[in-house]
Amino acid sequence: MSGAFRIPGAGRFKQAKTARFSFDGQSYAGIEGDTLASALLANGVHLVGRSFKYHRPRGILSAGAEEPNALVEIKRDAARKTPNVRATVQELYDGLDAQSQNRWPSLSFDVGAVNDIASPLFSAGFYYKTFMWPKAAWKSLYEPKIRAAAGLGVSPDQPDPDHYSSRYAHCDVLVLGGGAAGVAAALAAAETGVRVILADEQAEFGGSLRFETGAKIDGQDGFAWAQGAVAKLAAMDNVRVLSRTTAFGYYAQNFVGLVERVSDHLKTPGHDLARERLWQVRAKRVVLASGAIERHMVFADNDRPGIMLAGAARTYLNHYGVAVGRNVGVYTANDSAYAAAIDLKKAGVNVAAIVDLRDNPTGPVIDEARALGIEVNFGRAVIRAGGKLRVSSMSVQPKNGGGERTIPVDAILMSAGWTPSVHLFSQSRGKVAFNDETKRFVPGTYAQDCVSVGACNGTDGLSATVDEAYAAGAKAAKDAGAKTAKGTKPKVDASESWSRGMLGAAPGAGPDTTVKAFVDFQNDVTAKDIRQAVHEGMRSIEHVKRFTTNGMATDQGKTSNMHGLAIAAETLGKPIPEVGLTTFRAPYTPVTFGAIVSHARGPLFDPTRKTAIHPWAEAQGAVFEDVGQWKRAWYFPRAGEDMHAAVDRECVAVRKTAGLFDASTLGKIEVVGPDAAKFMELLYTNPWEKLEPGRCRYGIMLREDGFIYDDGVVGRLAPDRFHVTTTTGGAPRVMNHMEDYLQTEFPHLNVWLTSITEQWAVIAVQGPNARKIIEPLVEGIDMSDEALPHMSVREGKICGVPTRLFRMSFTGERGFEVNVPADYGQAVWEALWAEGQKHGAAAYGTEAMHVLRAEKGYIIVGQDTDGTVTPNDAGLDWAVGKKKADFVGIRGMARPDLVAKGRKQLVGLKTKDPKVVLEEGAQIVEDPKQAIPMKMIGHVTSSYWSENCGRSIALALVAGGRDRMGDTLYVPMPNGVIEVEVTGMVFFDETGGRLNG
Amino acid sequence: MLLIRCPYCQEERPELEFRNAGEAHIARSANMAGETDDDFEKFFFIRSNPKGIIYERWRHMHGCARFFNAVRDTVTDKFVMTYKAGEPKPSKLPGVAK
């Protein structure tokens, strides 16, 4: 059995297999092909949720993506709990486990429903008006309580174990929507041979042909025709057919985002399949065939479970074989609900009465309903629904007032008409136009290369729709470059046609009433709320929307926008187009974060860069730190050492004997060409023309504003060749900065720039024994102090491979930086390491490197400078070429404020208590006893324990710092004030003798 | 995602390949050191912020890596045209009324 409400002979799943599922712990049977909604209805279950604000019992309103009420949580396991799934979209699989939301302790008895009784307190804008005082209670009390009481699903509390995929695609014609219009357009385009993508959000193509039993195309039932046509399209090489795929966003230049639900409908998805796939499609032409969405009638208690859209009831019957009740009433303002009544009547369901708001409509469906013996009432309104957890009656009254009659029913099918789905058109920045005759917004002015066809274009009738769509598909293909068309247009033999309807509140829910006639089910917005918003001064529909939250829930007002607009317009006394329509924004339906993030999470969030020597450091047990995308060895702890002990040992070893350091991450740029020196002159503050080949210089790069941008040692390998180093983090922007000037300001210079960061591994060997470690492995380079003095560079060989050997020091010790091709990096490191072992050398990491350079007062750009520091501020005036006529930053540096007295200058700080290590970033004051807020005169930029100095050391930017040498300043901290003395920046070997030591 | 035509590659490529590089046609003085404070302010700090047509520098970062100029409409966000660095500001724009 698959439910007591399954009608034998109805529906399309004749041989279907049973699928068992549970809802709120109760077990039910459905059939494969059902949605969760159709399976629940087959079992007579209408009550599926509680509303957002008033906790009112809610049922299933629709049979599609527009569903505002039937939101459930689907649980696969502890980590796979998806909230706010529309039961009307979720396909049934055997074992599906669904829970209702926003109710406690149970769906049928929900304590929160007291909000419904207290609803006068919760009218429109109540958040803004209530809970204003006391202010502190908002965070601690009001907001948490409101959030707990109002709301939809609960977010999952574990990381998402599923994976998602992402694809880009290009096509000539992208058809969005797979109903009669979309399929006809796709056929026309595909037959020309151009590349076509056809997408539909449903599992099966056909759109409204799912329920339109009266449709006949090419001699077949409409739905069967659609299946045949889509099978034909899917078999064509130039066509991609995507079902279960929602176009959620229409962006610039025909760029459309779609999400394909790959495995949510499967019993056991397995890990081979992604859960969802994001398609980013660039199309030459887009055909929008997104259909129309039926509107509900706005009357008192129109939200009782069992009250649903007529087209939905018809879908449940004709597609799923499910009757939504045994004794249904119909409330309509247009013809389409008659077809639902007729189909149900023919299937054996009693139709208690049709209540038609129109006065004297005529037409074949009305005649047919009467012929079937259905009671039809014109000029009457349903003014109220009875029942609570399920509708039990409808109260009918002549629309202008009069005697009331109550008709018992177990379901009400309603239709106020159909709203063209202009969401994607509007997202494409097209402007909608209001058709006053049919009271609907339809596509007006197009902004992109797209066309709307069928119901979303306001085209009524299947025949007209197919004609329009087929012609549009052919034209889109031609515009995209198609040569010949050889297909034949599908022939519509029979069709249903309906239009018109009504907008706004129905009689009984008018301005003089206080009934709960819902406009927006998901956000609990009633007709009264909209009027109240207008009365309280909201004039623009955008303000009304935000004040009432009409149209702001996950369904984005798919059923409510037009009603809300009409009520606002009526209350304002203005025509609808003057009040305007709120903007449609992406996404059309909610999109998971997973689909958007795809594989870019965890280790794949950002690339990780590792040096050639990384594996060696890893094997040695190094602890790594992230520097930009790089992993850098931070320190090399030995057994029993903490970070502090390891860094102290590494620092001492470098000054006592030698240390090896992986400096490969340093940015490296080769500047080559006849004008290389001229280019260097312009990009760096220093003079370069006279630098001898084979010599190095510490260079400073400024921005045009005169502030330090980067620094590094530059070696001149030849008159026309410089090997430039940059900071690790600065390499890409320095390259960009150089390219920018070379390409746009100094294009006359004959220079080539090449990033060589990844090409050279760099091994720094520093310390008194550095030369002894390197020398045995080097060929062709005289390493004596005379031949290779400090700040020089030679090319030769080390361990048999080419090297650029720099004599330079970032520690203040005799130092070398051995550049070798990256492929040989680890081998050369290991050879140097073996030599180093003979001298007791240590490997040191970035922390020791930082301490050692701070002991010498060498700055780190980005740590000791912050983008507002000039060379003078940093004490680097000596590196600025005084005779140079031009370089980038020369004018900026001379701005009045940059040469004024009292600027923050880089100085050293010594704590009075040598054991105290300052905190980096700590603020500095002159007088610690002054009132708060104190006047801060600077901050600590670098601070370490220096084992070599036997005390703490720090660098700081202090206002007028160089005039304060020897002064005492104060660093106020939470645990007391720290006294410091202003000093020079060099804490170790002030004369610099150790460079040659 | 916008498509931008690189005037060097002669191809429309997705926006992700490009980086904006600020306003175009702001020449760096040949006598930079001699600029007055006012001139330097105009050169370095002052930028137009039009509603409508703006002339910008872009770089085809993940393509040919060349800097070029582009005309963009800040209202529609559409690129009107692109041209090579060093070429003069176009006097006529396709599809734009004066």
For residue A488, give its domain range: 165-292+421-494
pLDDT of residue A256: 98
Q: How far is B92 from chain A (nearest CA, A)?
A: 23
Contact B35 A891 (CB under 8 A): yes
For residue A536, count other CB atoms closer than 10 A to its CB. Answer: 15
Q: Give the span between the Cα atoms of B9 and B63, in whole angstroms.
A: 8
CB distance A189 to A173 below 8 Å: yes
Q: How far is A894 from chain B (nearest CA, A)?
A: 9
Does the CB of A386 have a partner CB in chain B at under 8 Å? no
Does the CB of B97 have a partner CB in chain A at under 8 Å? no
Question: Do both A77 and A172 map to the same domain?
Answer: no
Find the CATH number of the domain harbouring A428.
3.50.50.60
Alpha helices in A603-707 (DSSP H): 614-619, 643-656, 676-683
**Nearest chain B alpha carbon to A884:** B33
Cβ-based neighbours of A385, under 8 Å, separated by 6 or more: A299, A300, A301, A302, A304, A307, A391, A393, A394, A395, A412
Q: Give the span between the Cα atoms of A912 and A928, in whole angstroms.
A: 15
Contact A744 B86 (CB under 8 A): yes
pLDDT of residue A146: 60
Does the CB of A894 have a partner CB in chain B at under 8 Å? yes
Complex ipTM tops 0.90: yes
Question: Do both A115 and A232 map to the same domain?
Answer: no
Does the CB of A170 have a partner CB in chain B at under 8 Å? no
Does the CB of B64 have a partner CB in chain A at under 8 Å? no
pLDDT of residue B76: 87
- Chain B CB contacts of A747 under 8 Å are 85-86
Distance (Å) of CA A311 to CA A152, A368, A382, A572: 26, 18, 18, 32
Distance (Å) of CA A194 to CA A187, A466, A622, A789, B12: 11, 20, 58, 70, 20
Q: Which residues of A931-975 form beta strands (DSSP E)?
A: 936-946, 951-959, 968-973
Question: Do both A113 and A194 map to the same domain?
Answer: no
User: In this structure, what are the phi and psi dihedrals at residue A560, rounded to the nearest 5 degrees?
Assistant: -105, -20
- Nearest 5°: CA angle at A558, between A557 and A560? 55
Nearest to A740 among B21, B40, B78 (CB): B21
CB distance A65 to A424 below 8 Å: no
CA proximity to A658, closest of A288, A307, A994: A994
Nearest to A886 among B14, B33, B65 (CB): B33
Q: How far is B2 from chain A (nearest CA, A)?
A: 6
Nearest to A744 among B3, B32, B85 (CB): B85
For residue A996, count other CB atoms closer than 10 A to its CB. Answer: 11
Nearest to A743 among B1, B32, B85 (CB): B85
Mean pLDDT of A292-310: 97
- Chain A CB contacts of B29 under 8 Å are 891
Q: How confident is the model at residue A14 (pLDDT cuts 50, 70, 90)?
A: confident
Question: Do both A204 and A281 map to the same domain?
Answer: yes
Does the CB of B5 have a partner CB in chain A at under 8 Å? no
pLDDT tens sequence across A934-954: 999 999 999 999 999 999 999
**Nearest chain B alpha carbon to A882:** B33
Question: Do both A257 and A110 map to the same domain?
Answer: no
Asked whether residue A793 carries a pLDDT value surpassing 70, the answer given is: yes
Question: Do both A215 and A67 map to the same domain?
Answer: no
Those residues of chain B that have pLDDT short of 50 are: 98
Number of domains in chain A: 2
Does the CB of A280 have a partner CB in chain B at under 8 Å? yes
Q: How far is A612 from chain B (nearest CA, A)?
A: 25
User: What domains are there in chain B, each with its CATH number?
Assistant: 3-27+37-84 (3.30.2270.10)
For residue A284, count other CB atoms closer than 10 A to its CB. Answer: 18
Contact B33 A253 (CB under 8 A): no
- Chain A CB contacts of B44 under 8 Å are 704-705, 892
Asked whether residue A254 carries a pLDDT value surpassing 60, the answer given is: yes
Identify the residue with better confidence: A698 or A540.
Answer: A698
* Domain presence at residue A585: no
pLDDT of residue A578: 92
* Domain presence at residue A256: yes
Contact A253 B2 (CB under 8 A): yes
* Domain presence at residue A962: no
pLDDT tens sequence across A893-909: 999 999 999 999 999 99
pLDDT of residue A150: 60
pLDDT of residue A500: 83
Q: Which two tokens stand for residue A61?
A: 């309103």
pLDDT of residue A151: 63
Interface residue of B20, B28, B41 to substitute, partner A, most A CBs within 10 Å: B28
Does the CB of B75 have a partner CB in chain A at under 8 Å? no
Does the CB of A406 have a partner CB in chain B at under 8 Å? no
Q: Which two tokens stand for residue A534?
A: 């207008």
Find the farthest-apart pair of alpha carbons in chain B and give their distance in angstroms, rounded. Answer: 44
**Would you give the distance in Å from CA A849 to the centre of its chain?**
39
pLDDT of residue A823: 97
Interface residue of B1, B6, B23, B62 to substitute, partner A, most A CBs within 10 Å: B1
Contact B33 A890 (CB under 8 A): yes
pLDDT tens sequence across A733-790: 999 999 999 999 999 999 999 999 999 999 999 999 999 999 999 999 999 999 999 9
The mean pLDDT of chain A is 94
Nearest to B28 among A280, A745, A885 (CB): A745
* Domain presence at residue A174: yes
Cβ-based neighbours of A401, under 8 Å, separated by 6 or more: none
Contact B33 A894 (CB under 8 A): yes
Q: What is the count of residue pairs from A and B with beta carbons less than 8 Å apart?
A: 49
**Residue recorded with tokens 């623009």:** A540
Nearest to A251 among B1, B29, B65 (CB): B1
Q: How confident is the model at residue A434 (pLDDT cuts 50, 70, 90)?
A: very high
* Domain presence at residue A796: no
Interface residue of B32, B37, B56, B69 to substitute, partner A, most A CBs within 10 Å: B32
Distance (Å) of CA A18 to CA A21, A25, A34, A162, B11: 10, 18, 10, 27, 55
Question: Do both A211 and A271 map to the same domain?
Answer: yes
Q: Give the span between the Cα atoms of A786 and A303, in whole angstroms.
A: 94
- Residue that terminates a domain, selected from A494, A513, A544: A494
Asked whether residue A142 carries a pLDDT value surpassing 70, the answer given is: no
First to last CA, chain B: 28
Contact A739 B65 (CB under 8 A): yes
CA proximity to A673, closest of A574, A787, A751: A751
- Nearest 5°: CA angle at A264, between A428 and A87? 80
Does the CB of B83 have a partner CB in chain A at under 8 Å? no
Contact A740 B59 (CB under 8 A): yes
Question: Do both A34 and A105 map to the same domain?
Answer: yes
Asked whether residue A153 carries a pLDDT value surpassing 90, the answer given is: no
CA proximity to A715, closest of A760, A750, A748: A760
- Nearest 5°: CA angle at A968, between A962 and A970? 105
- Residue that terminates a domain, selected from A494, A519, A546: A494
Distance (Å) of CA A41 to CA A60, A99, A157, A308, A321: 9, 16, 31, 12, 10
Q: Give the span between the Cα atoms of A990 and B85, in whole angstroms.
A: 50
Contact A890 B65 (CB under 8 A): no
Does the CB of B62 have a partner CB in chain A at under 8 Å? no
Specify the DSSP class assigned to residue A298. Answer: B
For residue A896, count other CB atoms closer than 10 A to its CB. Answer: 7
Q: Give the span between the Cα atoms of A814 and A808, in whole angstroms.
A: 8
pLDDT tens sequence across A956-969: 999 999 999 999 99
pLDDT tens sequence across A120-141: 666 666 656 655 556 666 666 6
Question: Do both A171 and A273 map to the same domain?
Answer: yes
- Chain B CB contacts of A885 under 8 Å are 33
- Residue that terminates a domain, selected from A434, A462, A494: A494
Q: How far is B75 from chain A (nearest CA, A)?
A: 12
* Domain presence at residue A757: no
Mean pLDDT of A912-930: 97
Asked whether residue A453 carries a pLDDT value surpassing 80, the answer given is: yes
Mean pLDDT of A350-372: 96
Identify the residue with better confidence: A306 or A157.
Answer: A306
- Chain A CB contacts of B3 under 8 Å are 253, 282
The one-letter amino acid at A313:
A
Distance (Å) of CA A57 to CA A40, A77, A304, A331, A515: 16, 27, 7, 21, 16
- Chain A CB contacts of B32 under 8 Å are 886, 890-891
pLDDT of residue B98: 47
Nearest to B1 among A252, A705, A739 (CB): A252
The strand pairing partners of A764, in sequence order, are A661, A817
User: Quick one: three-class SS letters along A167-235?
Assistant: EEEEEEEEEECCEHHHHHHHHHHHCCCCCEEEECCCCCCEHHHHCCCCCEECCEEHHHHHHHHHHHHHC
Question: Do both A194 and A277 map to the same domain?
Answer: yes
Q: Which residues of A867-916 form beta strands (DSSP E)?
A: 904-911
Interface residue of A743, A745, A882 to substitute, partner B, most B CBs within 10 Å: A743
Mean pLDDT of A337-344: 96
Q: Which two tokens stand for residue B67?
A: 């800097």
CA proximity to A704, closest of A892, A869, A880: A892
pLDDT of residue B97: 56
User: Quick one: three-class SS letters along chain B?
Assistant: CCEEEECCCCEEEEHHHCEEEEECCCCCCCCHHHCCHHHHHHHHCCCCCCCCEEEEEEECCCCCCCEEEEEEECCCCCEEEEEECCCCCCCCCCCCCC
* Domain presence at residue A661: no
Q: Give the span between the Cα atoms of A309 and A323, in whole angstroms.
A: 13
Asked whether residue A70 carries a pLDDT value surpassing 70, the answer given is: yes
Q: Which two tokens stand for residue A315?
A: 């879908």
Asked whether residue A215 carries a pLDDT value surpassing 70, the answer given is: yes
Question: Do both A173 and A96 map to the same domain?
Answer: no
Contact A253 B85 (CB under 8 A): no
Nearest to B32 among A255, A890, A895 (CB): A890
Mean pLDDT of A882-887: 96
**Nearest chain A alpha carbon to B2:** A252
* Domain presence at residue A118: yes
CB distance A185 to A470 below 8 Å: yes
CB distance A392 to A370 below 8 Å: no
**Residue recorded with tokens 């700590």:** A922
Identify the residue with better confidence: A155 or A174.
Answer: A174
Question: Do both A273 and A205 map to the same domain?
Answer: yes
Nearest to A886 among B32, B37, B65 (CB): B32
Mean pLDDT of A259-287: 95
The share of chain A scoring above pLDDT 90, in percent, equals 88
Query: To 10 degrees, what angle do helices A561-572 and A527-535 make?
Result: 40
